[in-house]
C-alpha cells in the first residue's frame, strides 16, 4: 500500500536547498535538493561513496556545505545552529558513547544537554531502555557494550527529548532481528506523531517496508525520487526496490561512461 506523500502533514520540516560539498577539488555532493515533511519517513539510498553520509553530516551541522543551505523547522543550520539542533537528533552509522559512563548515565547526559528536566529524563530513559530491551545492561559501563547494545543506547539518546526531526544513518547495522523490528516500529510511530525522519540505509528491504518516499543518490547527485510505486514507473523494473535501484544506478554509470568516451574522442 502506498502511503500519502507526507502523511497527515504537508509542511516541510527539513529542506536541503542546492547543497554542494567538496573536499578540496573533489565533489562529494552536487546540487542536492530535497524536502522531508512532518509526518514523513524519507529513505536515502545510494552506493558506497555516493554522498549519503556527507549529506547527513551537513544536515546536522557536522560539516559546512561548500554551497547551498539546510533548513530545519525554519532555522538555517549554519546561521541558527542551536535553534536547528534543538529540535533535531542524529544517529550516526558508528555509534559513539562515552566509555566511562553507564548507558543510563549517557541517557541522562543526553537529556540534560537538550534541557529535559531530571524527572522527565529518568522516566523517558526507563521507557526507552525497556522498549529496546536494554534495561538489563543499563547500569554497565558503555565500554563493555557490544555494537548492537551501543546502537540501542544511541537510538534511545536520540529519542529522549522527543525530536521533531530525526536523521539516522544505517539504523539496522549490528541489530538482531527482534531489535531491528523494534526500530522499524519506533520509526513509524515517530512519523505517525508528526516527526520528520531522514534515514540513510543500504538495506533496501527496510526502505521498501517503512519509507513514505525514497531518494536515490549516485555520484553526489539525486538521480531519482518518489514512492516505491513512482520509482517503478521511472524504471523498467517492476519488482523489488533492489531491482529498481540497480537499474537506475547502472543507467547513470552507463551515461557517465559514454560521456567520458565522447570527451576523449
Distance, in Å, from the CA atom of 141 to the CA atom of 137, rounded to the nearest integer, reads 8
- pLDDT of 83-141, one tens digit each? 999 999 999 988 889 999 999 999 999 999 999 999 999 999 999 999 999 999 999 99
Q: Cell for 163?
A: 525530536
Mapped onto helix, strand or coil, the DSSP state of residue 192 is helix
Which of 225, 201, 178 is closest to 33 using CA atoms?
A: 225
Cβ atoms 121, 75 nearer than 8 A = no
Distance, in Å, from the CA atom of 155 to the CA atom of 133, rounded to the nearest integer, reads 12
Regions of the chain short of the pLDDT cut 50: 1-9, 254-265
Q: What is the pLDDT of residue 172?
A: 83
DSSP lists the bridge partners of residue 91 as: 168
Cβ atoms 134, 170 nearer than 8 A = no
Cβ atoms 9, 73 nearer than 8 A = no
Amino acid at each position: 500500500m502506498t502511503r500519502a506523500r507526507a502523511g497527515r502533514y504537508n509542511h516541510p520540516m527539513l529542506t536541503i536547498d542546492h547543497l554542494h560539498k567538496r573536499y578540496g577539488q573533489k565533489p562529494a555532493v552536487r546540487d542536492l535538493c530535497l524536502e522531508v515533511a512532518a509526518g514523513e519517513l524519507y529513505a536515502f539510498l545510494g552506493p558506497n561513496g555516493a554522498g549519503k553520509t556527507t549529506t547527513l553530516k551537513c544536515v546536522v551541522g557536522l560539516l559546512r556545505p561548500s554551497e547551498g543551505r539546510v533548513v530545519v523547522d525554519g532555522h538555517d543550520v549554519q546561521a541558527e545552529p542551536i535553534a536547528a539542533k534543538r529540535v533535531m537528533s542524529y544517529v550516526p552509522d558508528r555509534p559513539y558513547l562515552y566509555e566511562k559512563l553507564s548507558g543510563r548515565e549517557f541517557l541522562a547526559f543526553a537529556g540534560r544537554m537538550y534541557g529535559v528536566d531530571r524527572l522527565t529524563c529518568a522516566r523517558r530513559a526507563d521507557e526507552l531502555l525497556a522498549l529496546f530491551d536494554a534495561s538489563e545492561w543499563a547500569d554497565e559501563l558503555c565500554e563493555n557494550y557490544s555494537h548492537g547494545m551501543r546502537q540501542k543506547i544511541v537510538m534511545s539518546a536520540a529519542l529522549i527529548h522527543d525530536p521533531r526531526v530525526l536523521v539516522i544513518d544505517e539504523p539496522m547495522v549490528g541489530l538482531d532481528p527482534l531489535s531491528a523490528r523494534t526500530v522499524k516500529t519506533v520509526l513509524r510511530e515517530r512519523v505517525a506523531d508528526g516527526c520528520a525522519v531522514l534515514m540513510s540505509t543500504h538495506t533496501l528491504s527496510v526502505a521498501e517496508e517503512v519509507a513514505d518516499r525514497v531518494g536515490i543518490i549516485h555520484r553526489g547527485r539525486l538521480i531519482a525520487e518518489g514512492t516505491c510505486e513512482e520509482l517503478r514507473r521511472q524504471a523498467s523494473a517492476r519488482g523489488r526496490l533492489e531491482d529498481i535501484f540497480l537499474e537506475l544506478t547502472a543507467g547513470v554509470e552507463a551515461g557517465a561512461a559514454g560521456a567520458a568516451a565522447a570527451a576523449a574522442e
